[in-house]
Structure 1
Amino acid sequence: MISTYCIVPLYLCIKLWKNRSEDLFAWTLLATITMVYLTYMYRVGAWAMVPTGYYWRDIVLVALIIVMIKSFFQKKRSLLPGWCNIRNLLALLFVGFVCTTQTMGLYYSYKSAGQVPVGVELDFPLKNGLFYIVQGGNDPLLNHHHEVNAQKYAIDIVQLNPLGLRCNTLHAEELRHYNIFGQTVYSPCNGRIIRLINGHENFAPSVMISDHPAGNYLAIQIDDSDRFVILAHLLKNSFLINENDVVVKGQPLAKVGNSGNTSEPHLHMHVVETLANDLLFDEPGVPMRFNGQFLIRNHVVKR
């Protein structure tokens, strides 16, 4: 992950910055692959999940713009004699393949973002902080839950500190190192608690329990609706409500934990259409909007 988000972008930017060749063909290939790769990563990368933090994303974008402008005006270039050779053609094919696949990924990502049904309007379930969407969107590139029917529009949320880091240490070995661990979860809607699962332990970071994927979780039936909100990976014995309780928007419910099939503390949230089958996997997923916004990866919510 460090290489994808840090080493490769730095290498490409430095190489383009220092490029003083008069070979227009070679410069065009380097500039194209640099621009496409960094634009692709800017859109689909989970930037808060690397040690450099979320704001590294914007630093890389600014660096790309500066390097592209500087390199473009640095030297007059032209096609050199004999540029059309096997080596250059192979390089062109490689760059063309990489750029085509990544450009198509970007196209479908932006296209799918504009094809989201209206869904349901909810309050954001966390307060008093800066929160980052790790997984979210109408596209498997941005949301690894997308292929699961019930979780098609699910979001995973972590909390950032003022430096854009999700942990308060570079090498987080304990749950308390994660900013979101132990944060209060608030009801995103008026409704009734129709399911509450407690009793699953919190495990150390990177210890994932596939037998109980949601860990401790609760399901809220939205008032005057057959739709249900699921909030998962909650802290054992942190629940402030019981099954069948009526809750209102903004009411404290529980705390964020690290129970279930999760590599680190975060809050998982999704909405399903009915209660006929499995709330976690099989029911039809429903898009969620917060203040009218459909949240996707790299969105940041300040509360």
Structure 2
Amino acid sequence: MKVNRTIALTFFFMSIIVIPLFFLGWILIGRDSSKLIWLMKIVISGLYMLLIFIIGYWGFICYYLRYLFGVLYVIVSALSISDMVTLPFIYEENVTKFVYNNGFYIFIYLLVAGTMLHFIIKSITALSYNGTSISLAFPFKSGTYYVFEGGNSKKCSLINYHFAGSSHTKNNVNKSMQYATDIVKLNSIGSFAKNILPKQIEKYAIYKEAIYSPCNGTIIEVVDNRDNEEPFSGNHPYNVGNKIVIQSKGINIVIGHIQRDSIKVKVGDFVNEGQHIANVGNSGLTEFPHLHIQAMKVVEGSIWSGEGIPILFDGKFLVKNTLITKIQTTFDCIHMYFFYIIQ
């Protein structure tokens, strides 16, 4: 996905910082002429807070702001009740006169509120999947990881862009990407990088993170000759970069954007679930280091012709804004040590 850094920064700050703060301030210090106006203000502010809670890219700045703004909305709404109770229901003589005098504003309000409600409902439908799924182990073992694109992308691109992405549609691979998932790692403050959207690749928490095989299977394709792309350079080739394709039980699993020269398997190898197979890089069509993983049915010809299959990681369907915390135990370390001795 090609993203202009300046546009991305502006969008993230406006959508999950500036606009929520505007609504909170409006509720807290805005002057209302009637209970109806107060209620309309509470409803439209709440709709935006709910929408951005579901679809916002919170991990790009601080994931935990997602909950902070929700709590603040409840608090300021409660604080505004004391001023509201003394107001008349409407400031006009009757509802008919109120509608007549404020028809244009009511129309705009209903249009905006209806649009937000539409996208909320559409986003919620993308949090579930259709058809048969495949169960995989989560490909990382130590840390807190954040899904920034995940869910049923055919239902709603605000939850997962892959199916509707113009590049994917143009190259006729979007059907295979219906349930593709993009994952980053969060640091201690809930951000996926030091600073916000840095251009230095090493500042991203997931860069060079060890990738573990999500299943038992046979390696059918490996690409390991593509260099990392500079974050937000805008000159990325259309591919998933260095990749590994594992075939398991009639399903192809693609793992992409891998670090060059980090792949530890070759075509024909049989891999076991939990085996270290590569490290995260920034190769291919990607603005910053992350793991791209998807599953699709095995078909004749290109692997990208296969229908996308929903993935359950450790029994859970991962969607946008899901957090996964993994703790590497002493047993895991001992197991890895003996595995490498045997190898």
Range with bigger deviation, 86-95 or 263-272 = 86-95
1:99 to 91, 98, 113: 113
Alignment partner of 1:73 is 2:82: yes
**Aligned to 2:98, what secondary structure does the other structure show?**
coil
* Structure 2 CA distance for aligned equivalents of residues 288 and 85 of structure 1: 50
Alignment partner of 1:58 is 2:67: yes
Identity of aligned residues (%): 27
**Aligned to 2:190, what secondary structure does the other structure show?**
coil
* Structure 2 CA distance for aligned equivalents of residues 228 and 175 of structure 1: 29
Q: How far did 1:71 drift?
A: 1.4
Partner of 1:145: 162
Alignment partner of 1:172 is 2:198: yes
Relative to structure 1, the CA distance from residue 115 to residue 216 in structure 2 (aligned partners, 3 Å threshold; closer, same or farther) is: closer
For residues 126-146 of structure 1, the C-alpha deviation after alignment (integer angstroms, 9 at most, x for no partner) is: 121100000001132200013
Aligned residues of 1:19 and 1:27 also touching (Cα < 8 A): no
For residues 149-207 of structure 1, the C-alpha deviation after alignment (integer angstroms, 9 at most, x for no partner) is: 01100100000012101012346221000000000110000001100011111011112
Q: How far did 1:208 drift?
A: 4.2
Q: How far did 1:210 drift?
A: 4.7
Relative to structure 1, the CA distance from residue 205 to residue 86 in structure 2 (aligned partners, 3 Å threshold; closer, same or farther) is: farther
Aligned length: 298
Alignment of 1:147-166 (within 5 A): 147=164, 148-166=174-192
Gaps of at least 5 residues in structure 1 are none
1:244 to 265, 268, 283: 268
Aligned AA (2:163): H
For residues 31-86 of structure 1, the C-alpha deviation after alignment (integer angstroms, 9 at most, x for no partner) is: 2211111111111112112x3x1111111111111112221333322211266266
Range with bigger deviation, 260-269 or 11-20 = 11-20
Aligned residues of 1:186 and 1:250 also touching (Cα < 8 A): yes
User: What's the C-alpha RMSD, in Å, of the aligned pairs?
Assistant: 1.7
Aligned residues of 2:46 and 2:73 also touching (Cα < 8 A): yes
Partner of 2:124: 110
Partner of 2:20: 9
Partner of 2:30: 19
2:317 to 274, 278, 294: 294
Partner of 1:127: 141
TM-score by length of 2: 0.83
For residues 223-250 of structure 1, the C-alpha deviation after alignment (integer angstroms, 9 at most, x for no partner) is: xx11010000000111111111110000
Q: How far did 1:113 drift?
A: 2.8
Range with bigger deviation, 241-250 or 113-122 = 113-122
Gaps of at least 5 residues in structure 2 are 1-10, 165-173, 327-343
Alignment partner of 1:44 is 2:55: yes
Relative to structure 1, the CA distance from residue 112 to residue 21 in structure 2 (aligned partners, 3 Å threshold; closer, same or farther) is: closer
* Structure 2 CA distance for aligned equivalents of residues 122 and 60 of structure 1: 34
Partner of 1:234: 258
* Structure 1 CA distance for aligned equivalents of residues 44 and 68 of structure 2: 18
Range with bigger deviation, 75-84 or 27-36 = 75-84
Partner of 2:229: 203
**Aligned to 1:150, what secondary structure does the other structure show?**
helix
Q: How far did 1:4 drift?
A: 1.1
* Structure 1 CA distance for aligned equivalents of residues 274 and 226 of structure 2: 25
**In proportion to residue count, which structure has more helix?**
2
TM-score by length of 1: 0.93
Aligned AA (2:23): L
